[in-house]
Amino acid sequence: IAVQAQDQNYVRTTVYKTKVWDTIPTPTATQATVQTTFLDGLGRPIQQRAHRQSGTGTDLVTHFAYDTFGRQAKEYLPYPTQSASLDYDSGAEADALAYYGNPSAPSAVAEATANPYSEKLFENSHLNRVLKQAAPGNPWAMGSGHEVKMGYDTNTETDQVKMYTANATWNTTSEIYDVSLTSGSYAPGQLYKNVTKNENWTSGFDNTIEEYTDKEGRIVLKRTYESDISHDTYYVYDQFGNLSYVFPPLADNPATQLDDLCYQYKYDHRNRLAEKKLPGREWQLMVYDRLDRIVATGPTPSPFTGMLKGWVITKYDPLGRVAYTGWYQNTNAHTRQHIQNTFNSWPSQWETRAALQSVDNVVVDYTNNSFPTSGLRVLTVNWYDDYSYPGAPKNFDPIEGLTTYYNNTVKPQGLLTGTWTRVLHETRPPSAEQTHTFYDMKGRPISVRTMNYLRGHTIIDSKLDFTGKAEYTVTRHKRSSTATELAIREDFAYDLQDRLLSHTHKIDSRPAELLSLNSYDGLGKLMSKKTGGNDIAGNSFYQKTDYTYNVRGWLKGINDADNLNPSSDPEDLFAFTIDYNLPIAAQPLFNGNIAETGWKTASDNKLRKYAYAYDALNRLSSATYIKQGLMTGAYNESVQYDKNGNITGLQRNGDLDSESGAYIQIDDLKYTFLSGNQLLKIRDNSLHPAGFRDGIDQSAEYKYDIYGNIMTDDNKGIVVTYNHMNLPIQISFRTGQIINYLYDASGKKLKKTIVSGTETTTTDYLSGFQYINGTLDLFPTAEGYVKYLPTTTDTEAYFNYAFNYTDHLGNIRLSYGMDKEKGRLYILEENHYYPFGMKHEKYNSDRFEYVQIDSGGQYPVGIEPISPQARKSYQYKYNGKEFQDELGLNLYDYGARNYDPAIGRWMNIDPLAEVSRRWSPYSYCYNNPIVFVDPDGMYATPPDWYLDAKTGNVLGQDGASTNNVRVIYKDDWENTVSANGGSITAQATSELQSKSGLVTVNSNKIQSDVNTINSQTINDQSKERQVLIGLNVDESGDYPTAELTSVIGPEGTAGQNHVETGITNRYSDPEQTELSSSKFEGTNLRPIAQAHTHNKVTEKNKVNAPTTSDVDKQSSILQKITRYAIDSWTGNTPGGNAIHRVTGNGVQTNNIGTTQNFNMGQDALEKHLKQ
């Protein structure tokens, strides 16, 4: 902290973008990113200034304000200044209000507001709990009625909360705890009740969430409402605190509905999850080694045929990394108990590197000592730390000017260097894809080389700048060893704030194509994008796309739907509008749901809209079609649901785009279910052939296998066979046609073969390059795709660029391309969709394709119309996913699952169904496909968490979906968020990840230290002992990395809890949120948790208790860290000594595990993120 002016303190952070040997006093924006945080006399930030980080090169300033109690009741949005300066702005609040009151050009924010801040209303108590939370913008201002409202209470008699209890009893035969269920009711005042009302709430119970938690902080009930009818999800725990059941809303009598509707869990004697059952599928079993790692899961069908049952086996190296995996065929003797007992007694727990060692005819280069040593079909192999494994490259020449720092002399310790992934077909020796990764001296990957199973390759080399951004990449691809290699170079340019300015694409020696040329407004939001053409400077281009946003950063428009012919730019081919709180024909919405969308294309220049309605659970209930301001209803869609979100009825109009109000109902679907979430029958009462095809009328039209996959669909007339990943490997039609799919062991689709009579068509999928019958057809770009045509003239016309307009969901709405012979831009195809993904028919249906021509002109390729029956090879449409319409299949391939847009359901159970247990595992996107996207057929993975590298404090989450924990400098976090308009955008996420490092957990070290102090106390009961658990941050690189590890702290004394002496109180005042000490005393660890032993009490009138003490609780609350108490006083205990926990907010939980089976490091990190 230094004094800049006599009345201001500040902290200035400079992050250099280039290599420097000495500090640069006043670096330019090309040399460094500079941010200044001004502090008041209490050390609180009062202003942040991101120097030259606005879209126009001026500063972005964020104002901080506090109420009389020191609380930050208002959080202001950043604003761009008129000029760049490092000085404190004494008028920051007025400047923020002035800017957002009339956003000055350039600005993509399409509305003004008098309150450019979020605001909290606190309750009148020292707890400082929030009663209302208002978002920026006039419609959400405090007092508008559209705040998020919170309430805090205990349960009452009228709440009628059921009390389910799981009773675990040991089964000596299966060697797990069986669970029985009892029920009753909670007495008033026994549960904490938190109520949240969203921005759409007006009165009653709708738009309300109630959460009931017990005294140990465990959620017991989550209650939502639709039409004031409660939808209850219950969570049931056994006497050890393990989650044993989850009852979703449809389970109104769970004792009789366990298998069909409920989630069930069973544990072994070490509190490890041993068996689980998801609704509608058989039990899934888990086996552990002596280090508590999952080593076997099953049963699963064969990866190759889908017939036989077996186990997926994971083998580890000595450092706990996955060495190789495989499939092990089941026998009657191979019960979970038998395999678990085998692992318990097996002498070897890991594999070590062993040159040229083979397993299953695969040279894995590891030993084969852990179970099983025979009968394993190898699926994947991972190599680390060197390049001496089989097939590894021996050439370590520089890559695009960057030194390949690591080789077989300087070994890449800790880095993944190679993988082997089996192709799942029966060949001997097995075929596979092998990947090699090379790194620069900073450990950044600069080359990834994939050798495919056809003996071709895809090599991606990257030229990185000092900060890790790609300056350009070169992709070299060939299908097979005899094919001609294709080289693609992509160049990237950035502005001074590291935002992407331009992206060009060059194939072999042909002219580069402009994919995007971006411009940003003062807040750094993307304002426009130019695409297409060979003028990479962007003076001439095919299309210019303009973007507008509301004050909350929500997208409002793509181009101007009122005018597709801007005066200075080419005619817009597509425009799209989004309305939230100011719709024309729908109910205004304030909670982020979309009230209306509109679209217009140059094909007929007519504005079409959907007006949406939702129920109180945010499920889409209807979409009303509007054309040219008239509610024609021509493409309406209405949906009804049960309590789990299964669609029970669906009505759909279509096949007529009338302007008179006439419409045709093409679907009136009634769904019949088995006793759970699985379909039994669908009846279309409309009897119309369009839309859903009601191919048969019988009592059971759908059948499922034991894994919850649709096995037969009699309406489509198909029978489906799946592999161990629940991916279809064969679809057989009752008409005799067959579709076969080939995958690798990671689930990546490699090949599709369609057999129809005597005709066979194959499609190869090789790292994005698609081949039809062995000939290259197309490959993707960042803005569309390239269509390949094997013409006879060697010109750029071999490769033809097509560009896509996408909406906010990634739906491809319009594709266009340039006919260079005619010098004209063509719309190649339009696709407009019902909410659940079916395509509109009977308007703007003309389609064009790149074809060979003989015009006698310069270009042998042109764009010509194709017939309605002709099938385009580019089939990526809804959500950008591949539409599989072959043989009338009509399913979307999302990667992990297949989706049927005609009925709005998945064919398979969600692989991550447990993350959203309140919903049917077959429902699509929470039944709100206007807002949500399912990126790969699985529940969206949680984003990454960020910790402050200096203090260990939680800063927030990004927009990724990788569920990691990262460490970052606080200034980098705040600077990046501010530079992106205060929102965690995709651009912000990318920047945050590039400026941060992963947090790893050294579980072995923590476990070892815990066992050490436990053993010491067992042998010497005269004193208590402690382990300090914290972040060890490495700041030697450009950006920090961290390891959660431990040290053994100072000992306590007899009969007194003196283990706290090693910790300085984390907060000087519990009411404040600033650390007074950022490290455990005498260590370099940022505090996360502490574990200590409880020794045997010898004092008179005192006894030991199996719990955390009151002192433990008080200390945890004061220091804001989790504390673990170990029952060392019980002496040597079979299975380990019991561990109890109290979190930093005072929640005590007893018997969470033992010293032999509890992963304290992982648990400590999770609790730190949540408190």
Instruction: State how beta strands 997-1001 and 1041-1048 pair.
Output: parallel
Measure the CA–CA gap between 479 and 451, rounded to whole angstroms.
10
Inter-residue contact 860 to 805 (CB < 8 Å): no
Residue 719 has pLDDT above 80, yes or no: yes
Measure the CA–CA gap between 110 and 114, rounded to whole angstroms.
14
Is 905 in a helix, a strand, or coil? Answer: strand
Q: 939 falls in which pLDDT band (50, 70, 90)?
A: low
pLDDT confidence of residue 1073: 35
Residue 365 has pLDDT above 50, yes or no: yes
Measure the CA–CA gap between 924 and 879, rounded to whole angstroms.
12
Least confident of 447-451, 568-572, 661-665: 568-572
Query: Quick one: average pLDDT of 672-695?
Result: 96
Q: 959 falls in which pLDDT band (50, 70, 90)?
A: low
Kindly report the average pLDDT of the chain as a whole number.
89
Closest CA to 606 of 580, 587, 634, 640: 634
Measure the CA–CA gap between 381 and 420, rounded to whole angstroms.
5
HSE-up (13 A, CA, CB side) for residue 156: 5
Least confident of 151-165, 720-734, 1012-1026, 1141-1155: 1141-1155
Measure the CA–CA gap between 573 and 565, rounded to whole angstroms.
9
Residue 143 has pLDDT above 90, yes or no: yes
pLDDT confidence of residue 962: 60
Inter-residue contact 1045 to 1005 (CB < 8 Å): yes
Measure the CA–CA gap between 924 and 650, rounded to whole angstroms.
14
pLDDT confidence of residue 913: 81
Omega cis (within 30) before 429? yes
Structural domains of the chain, ranges and CATH numbers in brackets: 155-272 (no CATH), 278-384 (no CATH), 542-927 (no CATH), 997-1170 (3.40.140)
Supply φ then ψ for residue 64, to 5 degrees.
-115, 140
DSSP string across 403-471: ----SSSS--TTSEEEEEEEBSS--SSPPEEEEEEEE-TTS-EEEEEEE-TTEEEEEEEEEE-TTS-EE
Closest CA to 636 of 626, 625, 646: 625
Query: Quick one: average pLDDT of 1100-1107?
Result: 79
Query: Quick one: average pLDDT of 563-574?
Result: 88
pLDDT tens, residue by residue, 382-411? 999 999 999 998 888 888 887 888 888 899
Residue 35 has pLDDT above 70, yes or no: yes
Residue 1076 has pLDDT above 70, yes or no: no
Least confident of 228-232, 393-397, 450-454: 393-397
Least confident of 839-848, 931-940, 968-977, 1108-1117: 931-940
Query: Looking at per-residue confidence, does 126 or 905 come out higher?
Result: 905
Inter-residue contact 4 to 10 (CB < 8 Å): yes
pLDDT confidence of residue 1059: 38
Measure the CA–CA gap between 1157 and 1009, rounded to whole angstroms.
14
Query: Looking at per-residue confidence, does 1023 or 456 come out higher?
Result: 456
pLDDT confidence of residue 1060: 39
Q: Map tokens 């073969």 to a residue.
A: 753
Query: Quick one: average pLDDT of 824-828?
Result: 96
Structure tokens at 267: 């544990």
Q: What percent of the chain has pLDDT over 90?
A: 67
pLDDT confidence of residue 978: 58
Supply φ then ψ for residue 1111, to 5 degrees.
-65, -40
Residue 4 has pLDDT above 70, yes or no: no
Q: 190 falls in which pLDDT band (50, 70, 90)?
A: very high
Rg (CA), the chain: 31
Query: Looking at per-residue confidence, does 1146 or 618 come out higher?
Result: 618
Query: Quick one: average pLDDT of 862-874?
Result: 89
Q: Map tokens 């609180």 to a residue.
A: 44
pLDDT confidence of residue 796: 53
- Between the CA atoms of 222, 225, 228 and 230, what dihedral angle is there, to the nearest 10 degrees? -40
Query: Looking at per-residue confidence, does 796 or 717 come out higher?
Result: 717
Instruction: State how beta strands 945-948 and 965-968 pair.
Output: parallel
pLDDT confidence of residue 980: 56
Estimate to the nearest angstrom the gap between the alpha carbon of 8 and the chain centroid. Answer: 42
Least confident of 369-373, 736-740, 1022-1026, 1039-1043: 1039-1043
Measure the CA–CA gap between 908 and 747, rounded to whole angstroms.
15
Residues in CB range of 131: below 8 A, 6 or more apart: 121, 122, 123, 149, 150, 151
Q: Map tokens 């279910």 to a residue.
A: 673
Residue 523 has pLDDT above 60, yes or no: yes
Inter-residue contact 513 to 533 (CB < 8 Å): yes
Structure tokens at 771: 């081949």
Long-range contacts of 8-14 (CB under 8 A, 24+ apart): 8/38, 8/39, 8/88, 9/38, 9/39, 9/40, 9/41, 10/36, 10/37, 10/38, 10/39, 10/88, 11/36, 11/37, 11/39, 11/971, 12/36, 12/37, 12/86, 13/37, 13/969, 13/971, 13/972, 13/975
Least confident of 348-362, 484-498, 937-951: 937-951
pLDDT confidence of residue 1077: 42
Measure the CA–CA gap between 438 and 411, rounded to whole angstroms.
11
What b/e sequence results for 1061-1096 when a residue is b if at least 16 CB atoms lie within 10 Å of its CB, and e otherwise?
ebbbebbeeeeeeebebbbbeebebbbbbbbbbbbb
Measure the CA–CA gap between 864 and 860, rounded to whole angstroms.
12
Structure tokens at 963: 């569920």
Measure the CA–CA gap between 724 and 375, rounded to whole angstroms.
17
Supply the pTM of this predicted model.
0.83
Residues in CB range of 736: below 8 A, 6 or more apart: 757
pLDDT confidence of residue 1: 34
pLDDT confidence of residue 739: 98
Element (H, E) at 8: strand 8-16
Q: Map tokens 């393990």 to a residue.
A: 242
pLDDT tens, residue by residue, 759-777? 999 999 999 999 999 999 9
Q: 1133 falls in which pLDDT band (50, 70, 90)?
A: confident
Q: What percent of the chain has pLDDT over 70?
A: 94
Q: 560 falls in which pLDDT band (50, 70, 90)?
A: very high
pLDDT confidence of residue 517: 97
Q: 229 falls in which pLDDT band (50, 70, 90)?
A: very high
Structure tokens at 39: 């502090």
Least confident of 25-29, 108-112, 277-281, 659-663: 108-112
Type of residue at 52 = R
Which residues, listed in sequence order, are joined to residue 785 by a DSSP beta bridge? 780, 802
Q: 940 falls in which pLDDT band (50, 70, 90)?
A: very low
Q: 869 falls in which pLDDT band (50, 70, 90)?
A: confident
pLDDT confidence of residue 547: 94
Residues making up the chain, counted from first to last: 1171
Supply φ then ψ for residue 176, to 5 degrees.
-140, 170
pLDDT tens, residue by residue, 872-923? 889 999 999 999 999 999 999 999 999 999 999 999 998 878 877 888 999 9
